[in-house]
Amino acid sequence: MKTMKILLAVFLGVSWVGGICAQEKPSAKPVKAVRFGKLWDAKGKLWTNAIVVVEGDRIRSVTTDAAAIPAGAETIDLSKYTGLPGLIDVHTHMTIYTDETPGEPMLKQLTNNPPAVEVFLARKGALRTLEAGVTTVRDLGADQYMDIAMRDLINHGEMIGPRMFVVGYGLTVTSTPYKPGINPPAGGIADGVPEVLKVVRQQIAAGADLIKLYASTGTDDDVTWFQTYGYEEIKAAVDMAHKFGKKIAIHSYGPDGARDAVRAGTDSLEHATDMDDATIQEMAKRGTFYVPTIDHNRYYLENWQKIGYANGFQEKTKAFIERNLETARKAHKAGVKFAMGSDAIYTMFGQNTRELGWFVKAGMTPEQALRTATTNAAELLGKEKELGAVAPGYFADLVAVEGDPLADIDVAIYNVKWVMKGGAVVADKTKAQPR
Ligand SMILES: [Zn+2]
């Protein structure tokens, strides 16, 4: 009988992603009722005086009827606030967290810290990410499978952080520098179709949730966009990932790698500026997600000395931001689907959602921008029935903000007051005492 139950659970797609097994006895699941003044459920409804009933790590129901609150439920009163689904950041580097140790540039910290130290330190970035209302991330590239370790520690409740979907090593050609001053990760190097296929398989065997491929140069203070992988190699990576039921994210700073990545059938395209109209049209037609990551260059400009970049890169980076924004504007106008990715790294964690401000600048309404970090991002993860909305059966990932995020996107970026992930409160500033 027990085996039957487990088999049935597997058949029904019961997920361990939230870290709590959905097969616990019903009586063991705590029930909570969360009251919001307003609730944007990402399902097309703006509720007034909503009550979200949470059972264990999932949402049981959404109602306005107080009589529907189960007896014995813990009530959390957030009626001063607007509720949103937990937000999703589809482009992070959670394991590349650094602090602001005086006199030690962040690039140097990375080379000095052994992997175990990096993962341990990364818990701070993970917490800041949660505090920004981000309860799920797609982490796009780490060294030595630190991302897999971190994902599993979070899922096992040993570390507090957003739910992670990870890639292991991103695929790079021999000459691509991983990060300036850092040895390239040997695990991700692949030249030619046979090596590409091998490295894709290696990542999947290691436990990656999806695949990442760097199809051009460009990273940190380097905004070049020389295409590094040819179409055949890109196509091989895409097809092999898809054969295993995995999605693929392809990095390209410029239009050439972007064109081939889109034609090859990538699920998402990261960064890409200056895309030609044909590529943009193709993305709209295929439903390829665009993850422009405009804001991370703003972060680099503001923090370059602490990071340890050499002076003199600023003008090129400023120009890149402008072209990135312009490309986003064109793509949005053409009907391309967007997902919010911050490219958070170093001390940028906690600023993950600033990207939404750029999306509004690119022509989106605040609601369209919120979709990039909820329903769209969930679809890109293939988790649109579990993440990115407030509805029965979804993970109980909830955010309370002060103000109206549909009128002003800054409310979602800067006014996060309370966060629940998988039914557990992970951030609470509602009771903050004035100092
Ligand atoms: Zn990145």
- What is the 3-state secondary structure of 292-360? CCCHHHHHHHHHHHHHCCCCCCHHHHHHHHHHHHHHHHHHHHCCCEECCCCCEEECCCCCHHHHHHHHH
Taking the C-alpha atoms of residue 347 and residue 127, their distance in angstroms, rounded to an integer, is 12
What confidence tier does 20 reach under pLDDT thresholds 50, 70, 90? very low
Residue of 175 and 431 predicted with greater confidence:
431
Taking the C-alpha atoms of residue 206 and residue 208, their distance in angstroms, rounded to an integer, is 6
Which residues have C-beta within 8 Å of that of residue 157, sequence separation ≥ 6?
A: 19
CB half-sphere exposure, 153, CA atoms < 13 A: 18
pTM assigned to the model: 0.92
Can you say whether residue 342 is alpha, beta or left, with left for phi > 0 and alpha for psi between -120 and 50 degrees?
alpha
38 alpha carbon to ligand 1 midpoint, in Å? 34
92 alpha carbon to ligand 1 midpoint, in Å? 6
367 alpha carbon to ligand 1 midpoint, in Å? 25
429 alpha carbon to ligand 1 midpoint, in Å? 30
Can you say whether residue 56 is alpha, beta or left, with left for phi > 0 and alpha for psi between -120 and 50 degrees?
left
Percent of the chain with pLDDT over 70: 91
Residue of 325 and 114 predicted with greater confidence:
325
- What is the 3-state secondary structure of 277-296? HHHHHHHHHHCCEEECCCHH
Taking the C-alpha atoms of residue 272 and residue 91, their distance in angstroms, rounded to an integer, is 14
299 alpha carbon to ligand 1 midpoint, in Å? 13
Q: What is the pLDDT of residues 347-393, one digit of tens each?
A: 999 999 999 999 999 999 999 999 999 999 999 999 999 999 999 99
Instruction: Kindly give the pairing relationship between strand 31-40 and strand 46-55.
Output: antiparallel
User: So what's the pLDDT on residue 180?
Assistant: 57
User: So what's the pLDDT on residue 7?
Assistant: 39
Is pLDDT above 80 for 12? no
Is pLDDT above 70 for 434? no
Cβ–Cβ under 8 Å, residues 263 and 283: no
59 alpha carbon to ligand 1 midpoint, in Å? 32
User: So what's the pLDDT on residue 18?
Assistant: 42
User: So what's the pLDDT on residue 225?
Assistant: 87
What confidence tier does 242 reach under pLDDT thresholds 50, 70, 90? very high
Averaged pLDDT, 50-79: 97
Q: Indicate the DSSP class of residue 161.
A: -
What confidence tier does 172 reach under pLDDT thresholds 50, 70, 90? very high
141 alpha carbon to ligand 1 midpoint, in Å? 7
Q: Indicate the DSSP class of residue 44.
A: S
User: So what's the pLDDT on residue 176?
Assistant: 56
Residue of 162 and 431 predicted with greater confidence:
162
Q: What is the pLDDT of residues 264-322, one digit of tens each?
A: 999 999 999 999 999 999 999 999 999 999 999 999 999 999 998 999 999 999 999 99
Q: What is the pLDDT of residues 247-260, one digit of tens each?
A: 999 999 999 999 99
Least reliable range by pLDDT among 185-189, 217-221, 228-232: 185-189
Is pLDDT above 50 for 9? no
198 alpha carbon to ligand 1 midpoint, in Å? 22
352 alpha carbon to ligand 1 midpoint, in Å? 13
- If residue 129 lies in a helix (H) or strand (E), which one and from where to where? helix 115-131
What strands, in cross-sheet order, belong to the sheet with 268-271? 211-214, 248-252, 268-271, 289-291, 337-338
Least reliable range by pLDDT among 8-22, 157-171, 274-288: 8-22
Cβ–Cβ under 8 Å, residues 250 and 261: yes
φ, ψ of residue 33 in degrees (nearest 5): -120, 115
φ, ψ of residue 100 in degrees (nearest 5): -110, 45
Cβ–Cβ under 8 Å, residues 387 and 136: yes
67 alpha carbon to ligand 1 midpoint, in Å? 47
Taking the C-alpha atoms of residue 354 and residue 98, their distance in angstroms, rounded to an integer, is 19
User: Mean pLDDT in the chain?
Assistant: 91
User: So what's the pLDDT on residue 237?
Assistant: 98
Cβ–Cβ under 8 Å, residues 402 and 411: yes
Taking the C-alpha atoms of residue 131 and residue 119, their distance in angstroms, rounded to an integer, is 19
214 alpha carbon to ligand 1 midpoint, in Å? 9
Cβ–Cβ under 8 Å, residues 350 and 340: no
Q: What is the pLDDT of residues 100-143, one digit of tens each?
A: 777 888 888 887 888 999 999 999 999 999 999 999 999 999 99
Ranges of H-type helices in 12-135? 106-112, 115-131
